[in-house]
Amino acid sequence: MNIPFVDLKAQYRSIRDEMDTAIAEVLESSAFVGGPFLLRFEEAFARFCQTRNCVGVGNGTDAIFIALKAMDIGPGDEVVTAANSFIATSEAITMAGAKPVFCDIDPQTYNMDVRVLEEKITPQTRAIIPVHLYGQPADMDPIVALAQKYGLKIVEDAAQAHGAQYKGRKIGTLGDAACFSFYPGKNLGAYGDGGAVVTDDDEMAGRMRMFANHGRADKFGHEFEGVNSRLDGLQASVLAVKLRHLEKWTEARRANAVLYNDLLAGSGLVTPVEIDGVRAVYHLYVVRVDAGRRQALQDHLKSHGVATGIHYPIALPDLKAYEYLRSQKNFSPVASRTCREILSLPMFPELTGEQIDYIAKKIKAF
């Protein structure tokens, strides 16, 4: 049996007629930049996230960067974020001119450890970016409390958490703004790059929309210098089709996670944990294995046709890109250790029970 890590072809086949019709409509109307297809998706995604505004942008990295710029965060400022994430999270902080400060992670959820967060806050701190990694919501109540205590902004990195919930509230409604990626492999993925910021702050949404479109309020009325980062009409149309299926796909992911947990019980692997009151959406299904055996397990699964991944193999503060921060004791020992142990197993809505059973048996045989 050959099991891919993710199967976008299977997803396309399940919605082929809807998708082909939607793409043809965009081509027929030539509404490639801006226009009705973008507006329709922005309105639909704002409703889905239970927020007032959605601003479509070019990608998830730009979404964080643009949100920070709209908050006037820049040189001399610090932004605290999780030590275990893709570099896009911290990269966007640097793009805005601020300095990333890394908070170590909780060894169970792999999200920001709220028990050590306060010690990362300094007089220069302006914002916190919690990452809802792997589709597992971060523990937001303590983060919100600290933000209120110190007068900080919260920008949720929800690139992997479309539709996740924390204590009955949708991810995207818990901070000042939330940023999403629509990279093709995401739970809600485009057929190219794309991203969005959602917020209840109308004024902030207006600033973000202008900044992402060369700082203009009309065609040639540039009020300030911005950037060119727009979600195009074709991707918006693709996303609008997929959004109608997202809840069904999310429930399939959650069911797959439950089955994995059941079948891997007693295997020796550490399986995912959901904290109380959350609804995770399992962008990734990440287990932990002894660091000395991880490569051997990957090789074993590959030899039996099972693709795996590692998200992410190096903690952000350990990357060469952040050598300049190490003199400031910006270390995260739990993240550094965990990154040597994590392993991502195949996870997508179309994954079958038979395939999960096969994977579990091969792991137990190992």
In the structure encoding, which two tokens stand for residue 253, read together?
């992911």
Residue 182 has pLDDT above 90, yes or no: yes
Q: For position 297, what pLDDT does the model report?
A: 98
255-270 average pLDDT score? 97
Beta bridge pairs of residue 222: 216
Four-residue CA torsion sign, 322, 324, 326, 330: negative
Note whether 241 and 19 are within 8 A (CB): yes
What is the spatial distance between Cα 325 and Cα 102, in angstroms, rounded to a whole number?
Answer: 10
Rg, C-alpha atoms of the chain: 20
What is the spatial distance between Cα 292 and Cα 295, in angstroms, rounded to a whole number?
Answer: 7
In the structure encoding, which two tokens stand for residue 364, read together?
């137990």
Q: For position 349, what pLDDT does the model report?
A: 98
**Percentage of the chain surpassing pLDDT 70?**
99
**Residues near 183 by beta carbon (within 8 Å), at least 6 away in sequence:** 59, 60, 159, 189, 190, 193, 194
What is the spatial distance between Cα 346 and Cα 348, in angstroms, rounded to a whole number?
Answer: 7
What is the spatial distance between Cα 160 and Cα 133, in angstroms, rounded to a whole number?
Answer: 6
Which part of the chain is CATH 3.40.640.10? 8-243
Which part of the chain is CATH 3.90.1150.10? 246-365
In the structure encoding, which two tokens stand for residue 361, read together?
């048996």
Architecture category of domain 246-365 in CATH: Alpha-Beta Complex (3.90)
Structure confidence at residue 218 as a pLDDT band (50, 70, 90) = confident
45-71 average pLDDT score? 98
- Phi and psi, residue 200, nearest 5°: -90, -5
Structure confidence at residue 363 as a pLDDT band (50, 70, 90) = very high
CATH class of 8-243: alpha beta
Note whether 132 and 164 are within 8 A (CB): yes
Mean pLDDT computed over every residue of the chain: 97
Residue 329 has pLDDT above 90, yes or no: no
- The 3-state DSSP class for residue 170 equals strand
Any idea which of 60-69, 210-219, 326-335 has the lowest mean pLDDT? 326-335
| DSSP-H helix ranges across 51-139 | 60-70, 87-95, 114-117
What is the spatial distance between Cα 98 and Cα 90, in angstroms, rounded to a whole number?
Answer: 10
